[in-house]
Chains A and B, each alone.
Chain A
Amino acid sequence: MAANTMADEPAPVAHHFNNMLQQQSTVRLGMWLFLVTEVLFFGGAFCAYTGYRIWFPKEFEAGSAALNVGIASVNTFLLLTSSLTCTLAIRSAYKGNQFGIKLWLLATIVLGTVFLSLKGREYHLDYEEGLIPTSKRIVIQEEQPDGTFISKERSLFAENVTKVLHKEGYDTTGVYMPRVQLFFVFYYVMTGLHVLHMIIGIGLLSWQLILAQMDFFRHSERYVYIEVMSLYWHFVDMVWMFLLPLLYFAGPHTLHQAIEQFKLALGIASGHH
């Protein structure tokens, strides 16, 4: 490749910097500062969530019990692994290993995409079970002790979530459903924002991959661009590490249940009622 002849030259420094070290440390600081902002962004949502969870512990526990902890566990594994592969991409760039950069960036992109696919499947399952917050109301027939039926208006969401929780064997006595709905609003907003950040992250990774293909990283000094992009990726990973306990571990789950839920997600569940 033509690039090999240029590999020994130092990378050009942008016009307003004095040297490469200054440029690298500035780029790095810029990303750290941006991540400070991101911490406060998610922090605001976490605080609002925490406030409601302290006020309504019972309902948030019930809401959490209705979530698919199987998919979340597998996703956690995928995301942590992707942070490793991302870091290996920095190492490759630092060492000047062009093939390594592409390999590890691609691995990170694949792991991220699988995460998003599973998350999409989880949203789909939630949708099928009717766990979508809504103001819609339905009329149900309730059997009285004397055998007659009376019509009663009830929230569609409350009806659906009760059904799911009973299926999981969860006792819903004394659980006030509008508060469970509040839990689900936060569940969708917070995971939705996380998914949005992941999509942006995958976009950044793909851009780096294209740059790698164009031999941009022939100057090993430019590893810093992969490094700052990976800082962002690690941050998105970290957010998930907070979302997982906040949302999924607030309610009781068993290992068996998690495995069954994951099988269901893949469409290979047999004994799930």
Chain B
Amino acid sequence: MTKVPELHYTPQMVPMPELPPEQEANRLHYLNHSYGIFSWLLTVDHKRIGLLYLVSASVFFLFGGLAVALVRLNLITPTGAILELDQYNKAFTAHGTIMLFLFLIPVIPGVLGNFLVPMMIGAKDMAFPKLNLLSWYVWMAGAMFFVWQLTVGGLDTGWTLYPPYSSKYSHTNVLYAGLGIFITGFSSILTAVNIIATIHKMRCPGMTWSRLPLFIWAMYATSLIQLLGTPVIAVTIILLATEKIFGVGIFDPALEGDPILFQHMFWFYSHPAVYIMILPGMGVINETITCFSRKNIFGYKAVAWSSVGIAVVGFLVWGHHMFLAGQGYYLGLLFSILTMLVAVPSAIKVFNWSATLFKGSISFEAPMMYTMGFLVLFTIGGVTGLYLGVLGSDIHLHDTYFVIAHFHFTMVGGMLMAWLAGLHFWWPKMTGKMYSDFWSRLAAVVAIVGFIMTFIPQFILGYNGMPRRYPNYAPEFQFLNILSTAGASIQGIGYLMPLFYLPASLFLGRKAGGNPWMATGLEWQVPSPPPMHNFDSTPVVYFGPYEYSMPNGLGQLEKAGMIFSDEESTIAHAGQSLPEVIRGS
């Protein structure tokens, strides 16, 4: 029988006892058990693979940022400040493709998903560790095609690859880029298979579906979309490549093909793909917002199922990208109504997060700063999305800067803020070191202020009729464009700052300890950095994931006469649920 230790907070399990400092210094963990480049490149440890993703995704984020710096600089003058016309096309295409396929889609599943999914559910590793490593290599191989494509002259079709820009009239590297999308897609499918199998089969005893951290629910929904959507873009690219290589018409109207068919197939993946990008971010927000307001999540089931709801309804709305592309009138009407529907689960989440904050003891550490940024900016992004989902107003706003501002509010204001929140939240867990409090908060403020300054003017520009993707514009738009470029520069500084203070924390930061935020959740109950196989013995879970409002909960468990032993935890196999012990307070 295990003696339940006295606790000041309520974890999901009995925490590992803190080691004395001299033993802690010699403790073996996943970072120091082996050294050398091959111990990283051939690792099958999900935590190390997560860090591989972290390094490579950060590099691609810089590439994508560099491309958009060129775009914004060029837009300072109405006639284009620095770039030729085709260079401008290549710059915004590079920004779009790199940010979407090499950063937004893989970053949270790759880094936080890999690192946290097994730890949060009490598993030793992902279900298929070798497949996990393979998916990083496949992703890097796909990324290399993008890099190659950029070095041999770039791509000018926009990230949407619409024919005939990408087939008949293309003189740039559509095939390399297509191959890059195809291969990185394969990687995201493998990651999705791994994550779903892990969540289904590797949960520790007592980790029932209603006790899963909501980050896990979000990752599950994300993986579902990756599994169902990605193959469709793969076959679309095969058809496009066939048309391009053999000169036969699949999407070419001159040869009886239908270009709208490409758009249908493309958006069947690419609209759900925006939920691949935002859902993991929403998952992160659940973890940070509960921790920094010291409260249980408001409406666990609603938040959990709204993730699945977004995944399902998200597959039925792709036609709202094509209101003006020549699809049928009634089809447009139908897609417009369905688009209203997909706003519902997102709104449920936002309302529940707000209710979670209500009367919480809120503290503003760096992760919470980014989280608050997410809440405000994502809400603006979501609401402006409705303007575009309504058939009538979209006719006015279609293909203007309003669209750009809308999806940057969701993708940057939403997803990127959530990613930075997650990175700052789990950085102490990953590295064992705490970063500078002052610089991290300052970076969050700079990024959020710069963001608002960049994209609010773009709403106005778009509403007044400035079209997207044009290097030239009417002179009266210049003031707002300069404002936007200035904002982008401030934003850029905000994103570059973590690049300095996070690595610096490895050398200068104080030791974080196992649970610096006093958070619940299994990953916080082990020392930082975590041991090689996460848990010395299989944990057993008796509580929901966010029992912040129940002080000394395990003491209550003891009073209730519930006894648990180490033997029990080793005989029970994952996914098996123990009898319902205690729910809530």
Contact = CB atoms under 8 A, between A and B. Distances in A.
B202 A16 contact: yes
| Interface of A (DSSP majority class) | helix
Contacts of B255: 178, 181-182
A77 interface: no
B555 interface: no
B239 A48 contact: yes
Interface string A167-188: 0000000001011011001000
B242 A185 contact: yes
Contacts of B297: none
B302 interface: no
Interface stretch (B31-39, B57-65, B159-167, B243-251): B243-251
Interface residues on chain B, size class: 35 or more
A25 interface: yes
A36 interface: yes
B574 A30 contact: no
A176 B256 contact: yes
B78 interface: no
Interface in A11-28: 15-19, 21-22, 25-26
A74 interface: no
A128 B126 CA distance: 51
A19 B573 contact: yes
B265 interface: yes
A41 B235 contact: yes
A44 B261 contact: no
Interface in B196-230: 196-197, 200-202, 227-230
Given A40-B228, A179-B256, A182-B250, A15 B234 contact: no
B193 interface: yes
B533 interface: yes
Contacts of A189: 238-239, 242
A36 B258 contact: no
Contact of B256 (A26, A34, A42, A182): A182
Contacts of B261: 48, 51
A25 B574 CA distance: 11
A38 interface: yes
Contacts of A178: 249, 255-256
Contacts of B528: none
A30 B197 CA distance: 6
Contacts of B235: 41-42, 44-45, 48, 193
A56 B261 CA distance: 15
A81 B200 CA distance: 34
Given A41-B235, A48-B265, A189-B242, A16 B227 contact: no
A43 interface: yes
Given A26-B201, A178-B255, A193-B238, A44 B232 contact: yes
Contacts of A29: 127, 196-197, 200-201
Interface string A28-64: 0110011011101111110110011001100000000
B328 to A, nearest CB: 13
Contacts of A213: none
A16 B124 contact: yes
A181 B125 CA distance: 51
Contacts of B201: 22, 25-26, 29
A135 interface: yes
Nearest to B127: A26
A38 B186 CA distance: 11
Best-surrounded residue of B128, B227, B256, B533 (most CB of chain A within 10 A): B256
Contacts of A47: 265
Best-surrounded residue of A36, A44, A51 (most CB of chain B within 10 A): A44
A16 B256 contact: no
B189 interface: yes
B231 interface: yes
Contact of A44 (B189, B193, B196, B265): B265
A126 B323 CA distance: 41
Contact of B227 (A17, A36, A52): A36
B155 to A, nearest CB: 23
B231 A181 contact: no
A15 B129 CA distance: 10
B296 interface: no
Contact of A30 (B125, B128, B242): B128
B578 to A, nearest CB: 15
Interface of B: 123-129, 131, 189, 192-194, 196-197, 200-202, 227-232, 234-236, 238-239, 242, 246-250, 255-258, 261, 265, 268, 533, 538, 570, 573-575
Interface of A: 15-19, 21-22, 25-26, 29-30, 33-34, 36-38, 40-45, 47-48, 51-52, 55-56, 133-135, 176, 178-179, 181-182, 185, 189, 193
- Nearest 10 A-B pairs (CB), nearest first? A41-B231, A16-B125, A44-B235, A16-B124, A40-B231, A44-B232, A26-B201, A135-B247, A133-B248, A18-B573
11 contacts: A15-B124, A16-B127, A22-B574, A30-B127, A34-B193, A41-B234, A42-B235, A43-B231, A134-B247, A182-B249, A182-B256
